[in-house]
Structure 1
């Protein structure tokens, strides 16, 4: 009936439909080359939203649904990390340091740093501990330290490096959980010497430091769980590579799909 209405033959109509499908498949094939390149460059950590943004940066305007369909058809699936969920009852004794970040409005870098420590088991059965300080505004990793002991020396090393890398800043707040490494008199005195105000999670509310929890889950998902790391030397090399990648290449949706380094560069321009 449609052929009669528009005055075309059935063979002509079917030929037109086949050409449309073939052209679409050809375009999808060309698009997949770009998608796969971005996917591989970021070691399988980018899903369709970030790949879509990367394509647009290259001048390729395409919808996220189409990118997701092409990825799905070719079996490209980004690795995912699970976000930390608070568990009532698993909290430490109440200390006097209060949470000073509730409702805070961030407008610039070096206004709020957040820190935490995580543990990593090596293939040889030993443990390493990673301490990280991050700028909450730009998501940039300011400093990090590795050690085979989880003590105040580890966290002191990371905060000292953070100050060396970023300098002293008035009204700077450092926020962490209520770990003993951050509660020690030595650590609190070091913060006072730098003029940094200390802030800690509220009791029963581990999500106050959710950004650091999320970062560690992300790091372990994208690197630690995907390769065999047997020695401390191998781990240090892996951490060094990932921190460089995270700061200079890995985009974040919360800062406009750019890397922390690019975000801070645009602010300073």
Structure 2
């Protein structure tokens, strides 16, 4: 019987670095390296969290662990089999993906079946090799995205009926999975339309009845899905509410808070902090990293009500315009191609594209003129 391969730290670092580059989608990386997409997300997260340790205390190297110590540790792990019940109770506190990653193929004392039993992970799920999304599913995701821009109130059932009427043999189970994968949620009133992560604080909506009369009074932020030739990416953008100007944006192959914070840092650095930042109640915007950055900058936090897409309508219209004028006209294969395409369109949108609500002027022109028209003492008061 051949020895089963175990993921070495070097292999994990290689995959995490590829994910960090953002050139390939997670589906592509999972298919290329033969690992589960969730593991790629975890390794990328671990790489980002551990990178700061390289520069701590003069870049001191991590202590080397002796092989005898490793064997002793494995022996202690083997003793846990005696306490199967108690260990199983502890394992339940961890997510299934985390427990799956704890299984070692070459453990000296416990077989894979025993480890799966201890960690309460189905053995079949451990042996599963991800194949990535099929071309058919990617085509369905493209159709769903196009239709969702026209009818954002379509839930799983309505979207399934729509695709069936277009002669696509689909069921609700597949459409539900694909819409969750794309991060699409219908906008009709219902409980928990946009769910923050457990323990994340949500904030009230502050824009109701507020007259927005100047730049940097209110910013808004949102995330959308970008279809690629193989897989998909995510785009976050920050917009000035008064002038509709896109202040910053970022693209990522994983749906975490880091790229949102990067876009926020750039916008604050270039234009100064706004009075209010409005977003939905997604886990990226309710995360500590994002809300703490806003609070430290003295920015008041506003969040849409559940199911209230109109609360952030301007950036929703931006997504529609971007996709019909740019994204759907191309079939990008790499992250660099997507970034170059979005960058070109964003420059066009800000500086040359006429905007109806702005009297036919581009957003960047209105932003500059409005900011220059303000009195110096007003500008200083806003900055303060």
TM-score (normalizing by structure 2): 0.46
| Cα deviation, residue 228, structure 1 | 1.7
> Which residue does the alignment assign to 2:193?
91
Q: How does 1:86-125 map to 2 (within 5 A)?
A: 86-89=187-190, 91-93=193-195, 96-123=202-229, 125=230
SS of the equivalent of 1:128 reads strand
How many aligned residue pairs are there?
A: 186
SS of the equivalent of 1:99 reads coil
How far apart in 1 are the matches of 2:189 and 2:273? Answer: 37
> Which residue does the alignment assign to 1:173?
276
- C-alpha contact 1:97 1:199 (8 A) present in aligned 2: yes
> Which residue does the alignment assign to 1:46?
none
How far apart in 2 are the matches of 1:230 and 1:115? Answer: 26
| Cα deviation, residue 197, structure 1 | 0.7
SS of the equivalent of 2:251 reads strand
> Which residue does the alignment assign to 2:150?
82
> Which residue does the alignment assign to 2:167?
none
The answer to whether 1:129 aligns with 2:197 is: no
With over 3 angstroms needed to count, the CA separation of the structure-2 counterparts of 1:260 and 1:92, relative to structure 1, is closer
Picking from 330, 341, 360, the partner of 1:238 is: 341
Q: How does 1:176-187 map to 2 (within 5 A)?
A: 176-187=279-290
| Cα deviation, residue 187, structure 1 | 1.2
- C-alpha contact 1:84 1:210 (8 A) present in aligned 2: no
SS of the equivalent of 1:251 reads coil
| Cα deviation, residue 84, structure 1 | 4.1
- C-alpha contact 1:83 1:217 (8 A) present in aligned 2: no
SS of the equivalent of 1:114 reads strand
How far apart in 1 are the matches of 2:235 and 2:221? Answer: 11
- C-alpha contact 1:115 1:131 (8 A) present in aligned 2: yes
SS of the equivalent of 1:247 reads helix
Higher RCO structure, 1 or 2 (CA under 8 Å, sep 6+): 1
| Cα deviation, residue 245, structure 1 | 0.3
How far apart in 2 are the matches of 1:215 and 1:84? Answer: 14
TM-score (normalizing by structure 1): 0.65
SS of the equivalent of 1:262 reads helix
The answer to whether 1:164 aligns with 2:269 is: yes
How far apart in 2 are the matches of 1:93 and 1:147? Answer: 21
- C-alpha contact 2:277 2:301 (8 A) present in aligned 1: yes
Question: Deviating runs (4+, > 6 A) in structure 1?
Answer: none
How far apart in 2 are the matches of 1:190 and 1:182? Answer: 11
| Cα deviation, residue 93, structure 1 | 4.9
- C-alpha contact 1:143 1:165 (8 A) present in aligned 2: no
How far apart in 1 are the matches of 2:359 and 2:151? Answer: 21
SS of the equivalent of 2:150 reads coil
* Structure 2 gap segments, 5+ residues each: 1-148, 154-186, 374-384
* Structure 1 gap segments, 5+ residues each: 1-80
